[in-house]
Structure 1
Amino acid sequence: MKSACLPTNEVSRLNELKELKLLDTVEEDAYDAITHLAASICKTPVALVSLIDADRQWFKSHHGLEARETPRELAFCAHAILQKDIFVIEDATKDDRFFDNPLVTNDPNVIFYAGVPLTTKSGHALGTLCVIDTKASKLSNTQRTSLSLLGAQVVALFELQKANNNLLEVAEARSRFLNAINHEMRTPLNIMSGYLDLIAESAIERDDSETIESCDYARSANEQLLGLVRDMIEQTASDAGELSYNPEQIEVSSLIADTANECATLGKPKNIRFKLDSSQGMDISADPIRMRQIFHNLLSNAIKYGSENSTVTISIDTEDSKFIDIRVSNTGTTIESDEAALIFERYYRSPKYSRSGVAGFGLGLPIARQLARLQGGELSLESSVNSMTTFLLRLKR
């Protein structure tokens, strides 16, 4: 028996194999379908997707064979990865390299072997797509071509795996980054908010209007930063499919009024007030935390982009028997028609607002819409005409 030599690029080949992160993973239908088809086309009982590790060959797919790996020194595939084209052994018992190989003389009794090297764009043959039989055989030209084409499909799956690995790494890095932001920014911002409250209380006792006004500005800026942190964290949870939803019976008018009171500080620097056009109670089944987030985003946006000395109006329409319509209207810069569809896209910010220095990442409205849809509702831009902009939140009763 003659073991195969190592490829000249063995170190970098093994590095790419490790980076692929396929070794010792579960079976996958995409690979199993290819080996099933290869065995059918080549009329063999066994077909494998074999990956050549440092000291073993491991089978990502093993049609017709129970084993998941064998020693590399015995592997026919270790010879096949040294080739540029398909590697065929028609009768291993008559080949000096394999006649006394334990895989030939014992189970699984490999007599016929044909393997296509799975060579990536980097030029590394990571393994093979191979077919095996327990009797001597040959491949027709059509079978050779088909096996090569199927091998190319396996390599394409490798490339998809790499792309997926890269996306996961980016997602993990972003998650670590946002967790760090959550800890490193949210904690000091909350502490600062507490100190500002204490300073404001002391200023009120002294009737120090200048300090009170300064605290209002500082608290508004602090709350905007906290909002940005919340938006980034929510978007990460959404990307990971981890947005929770815990519905209960809530009274809409009270919840809106409470949220408006929480946002009142944001409006003080621009002297923007809230007006709730509804005293009618209306209970719906919704997640109170998610509803507060939606209204907080809508109201903070109305302040951020609203005119000074204006009023943000919140109206509740309960005439429809199936839905409740909540409108948030503010006076400010009109949203152009060509931007109406873009404002719900993640990270989109109008150039005029980016230039004006208004803080934001373009996440507030996309998150608010996601949260509305999570509860079976919808958030849309109803109109933006003559400096009056109205957003419509429609919820099921």
Structure 2
Amino acid sequence: MDTLTAPVPANEMERLTVLAELDLDYSALNDNLKSLSKLAAKIAGTEISMVNLIDSFTQWTVSNYGLDLDQMNREDSVCQYTIMQDEGYEVLDLAADDRFKEKFYVTSDPNLRYYYGVPLRADNGVNLGALCVLDTQLRVLSPEKIEMLKIIADEIVNRLRALRVIESMRGQINEATENQRRVAHDIRGPLGGIIGLARIISEQGDENTMEEVLEFIGLIQKSGHSILELADEILSIKAVPAENANKLGNDEFNQVTFKEKLIKLYTPQALNKKIKFTVNTSADTQNIPFLKNKLLQIVGNLISNAIKFTPEGGSVSTHLSIDAVDQGRSLQIKVEDSGVGLSPDKIQQILSGQGESTTGTGGEQGYGFGLALVKHLIDGLKGNLQVVSTTGNGTVFTVSLPQAISKI
């Protein structure tokens, strides 16, 4: 394979879409996977093992054993070749392979030599990333050990899928809770009216000594009070106190927590290229909750793309805010860079959801699907993407995502 050509799976857009649909937070998976990464190293007899997920621009190490590493550029990774395979992928000596011999992990600490990777394959046959074992010594893995690594890789995919299901169920439970509260609010008014009417009829009937009617009306009144008490009970249990109106659920960010997450995930990429990276929030709305749904995938791809096309010494900034609209709220995300800019034709290509491979300002290999994925995800959330740029003068991506008001 040509060392200057980035390996890209034939089903790359499908692969990225499946990974995005899992809606994973790459910085929050280690606790669920660390036992499996350790087991892989112990079975292989290697010093190091890693669980890597590969998106449009980045290899994310979501769990590791023996090497403290969170991420690297996709084009620097060995696992980018593993996701091209149906089975395992082996490099007997990284230092003797022209593709890897100059990479930082070979020429300096930890001075890696051996690599074996197993694709992390989803049910539909796409490879999300790789489970890999590595060593500073040359090794040979037996067929039995390789088969056990494949079993561990399957279990990793199962856990990722299970995590997604759990998060989805949490969201459904939260939605059901909100629906209960709304129902309770909706029935209180009519019930209060019925009880009031029953009281009036009861008073009138008492004046007319209609004993049988009064008894019947009394039963209605008693029943109405019981239902009203039930509604009050539901509200008292489920209602969010005023002081906790902005408390975050498991499926929510606010601007402050989202900023922290973005800085943690993408500052290393900016520092690696000597680019100033900032995230700004809107003070008057920064504590209002909004749904996490696909946000890390959307904004992460935009930030990585901006870093890729911004020269050393440049800047990338992200601005977060929430605007009020007729039907609720709209989350506004602006990613602005001082990079090489885009031509009108390229902007139109992005807005039409097409991908084309290009090379970054630092020589980064292009994969061409990151912005197409962003457009696909935004459309799925019924949002809007705007791109403003002129060649040589940087680019501004503006994303608008509708947000239902979840707190009554």
- Normalised-by-shorter TM-score class: 0.5 to 0.7
Counterpart Cα distance in 2 of 1:10 and 1:221: 62
Counterpart Cα distance in 2 of 1:192 and 1:18: 51
In the superposition, the TM-score normalised over structure 1's length comes to 0.52
Q: Counterpart of 1:180? A: 182
Deviation at 1:159, TM superposition (A): 2.9
Q: Does 1:124 align with 2:105?
A: no
Asked whether the 8 Å contact 2:38–2:64 carries over to 1, the reply is no
Q: What SS does structure 2 have at the residue aligned with 1:173?
A: helix
Q: Counterpart of 1:74? A: 76
Distance 1:45 1:184, change over 3 A: same
Q: Does 1:61 align with 2:63?
A: yes
Asked whether the 8 Å contact 1:49–1:129 carries over to 2, the reply is yes
Deviation at 1:228, TM superposition (A): 6.9
Among candidates 106, 110, 113, match of residue 111 of structure 1: 113
What whole-Å deviation, never above 9, does each CA across 1:266-323 have from its counterpart, x for those lacking one? xxxxxxxxxxxxxxxxxxxxxxxxxxxxxxxxxxxxxxxxxxxxxxxxxxxxxxxxxx
Distance 1:136 1:191, change over 3 A: farther
Higher mean C-alpha deviation, range 82-91 or range 162-171: 162-171
Counterpart Cα distance in 2 of 1:138 and 1:90: 8
Deviation at 1:173, TM superposition (A): 2.5
Counterpart Cα distance in 2 of 1:75 and 1:26: 21
Counterpart Cα distance in 1 of 2:5 and 2:201: 80
Q: Counterpart of 1:165? A: 167
What whole-Å deviation, never above 9, does each CA across 1:65-97 have from its counterpart, x for those lacking one? 112111112121122111110111111122232
- The code of the aligned residue for 2:154 comes to A
Counterpart Cα distance in 2 of 1:3 and 1:217: 81
Deviation at 1:63, TM superposition (A): 0.8
Distance 1:111 1:221, change over 3 A: same
Distance 1:69 1:224, change over 3 A: same
Distance 1:150 1:209, change over 3 A: same
Larger Rg: 1
Q: How does 1:354-369 map to 2 (within 5 A)?
A: none
Counterpart Cα distance in 1 of 2:94 and 2:100: 6
Q: Counterpart of 1:153? A: 155
Aligned residues: 237
Among candidates 96, 101, 110, match of residue 99 of structure 1: 101
Distance 1:201 1:166, change over 3 A: same
Among candidates 79, 85, 88, match of residue 86 of structure 1: 88
Distance 1:85 1:229, change over 3 A: farther
Counterpart Cα distance in 2 of 1:39 and 1:3: 31
Among candidates 45, 54, 60, match of residue 52 of structure 1: 54
Distance 1:3 1:75, change over 3 A: farther
Counterpart Cα distance in 1 of 2:142 and 2:203: 89
Counterpart Cα distance in 1 of 2:191 and 2:71: 55
Deviation at 1:235, TM superposition (A): 10
Asked whether the 8 Å contact 1:2–1:98 carries over to 2, the reply is no
Deviation at 1:213, TM superposition (A): 5.0
- The code of the aligned residue for 1:83 comes to Q
Q: Counterpart of 1:9? A: 11
Asked whether the 8 Å contact 1:44–1:133 carries over to 2, the reply is yes
Structure 2 spans left out of the alignment, 5+ residues: 240-408
Asked whether the 8 Å contact 2:184–2:234 carries over to 1, the reply is no
Asked whether the 8 Å contact 2:41–2:48 carries over to 1, the reply is yes
Asked whether the 8 Å contact 1:77–1:128 carries over to 2, the reply is yes
Asked whether the 8 Å contact 1:3–1:73 carries over to 2, the reply is no
- The code of the aligned residue for 1:130 comes to C
Asked whether the 8 Å contact 2:51–2:62 carries over to 1, the reply is yes
Sequence identity percentage: 30
Distance 1:195 1:25, change over 3 A: farther
Q: What SS does structure 1 have at the residue aligned with 2:49?
A: strand
Deviation at 1:157, TM superposition (A): 1.3
Asked whether the 8 Å contact 2:94–2:113 carries over to 1, the reply is yes
User: C-alpha root-mean-square deviation of aligned residues, in Å?
Assistant: 3.0
Q: Name the structure, 1 or 2, with higher relative contact order (CA <8 Å, separation 6+).
A: 2
Q: Counterpart of 2:257? A: none
Higher mean C-alpha deviation, range 159-168 or range 227-236: 227-236
Q: Does 1:216 align with 2:218?
A: yes
What whole-Å deviation, never above 9, does each CA across 1:177-226 have from its counterpart, x for those lacking one? 21221222234323433343344334434545576456335435545654
Deviation at 1:175, TM superposition (A): 1.6
Structure 1 spans left out of the alignment, 5+ residues: 238-397
Distance 1:90 1:60, change over 3 A: same
Q: Counterpart of 2:143? A: 141
Q: How does 1:261-340 map to 2 (within 5 A)?
A: none
Counterpart Cα distance in 2 of 1:197 and 1:3: 82
Q: Counterpart of 2:390? A: none
Q: How does 1:23-34 map to 2 (within 5 A)?
A: 23-34=25-36
- The code of the aligned residue for 1:6 comes to V
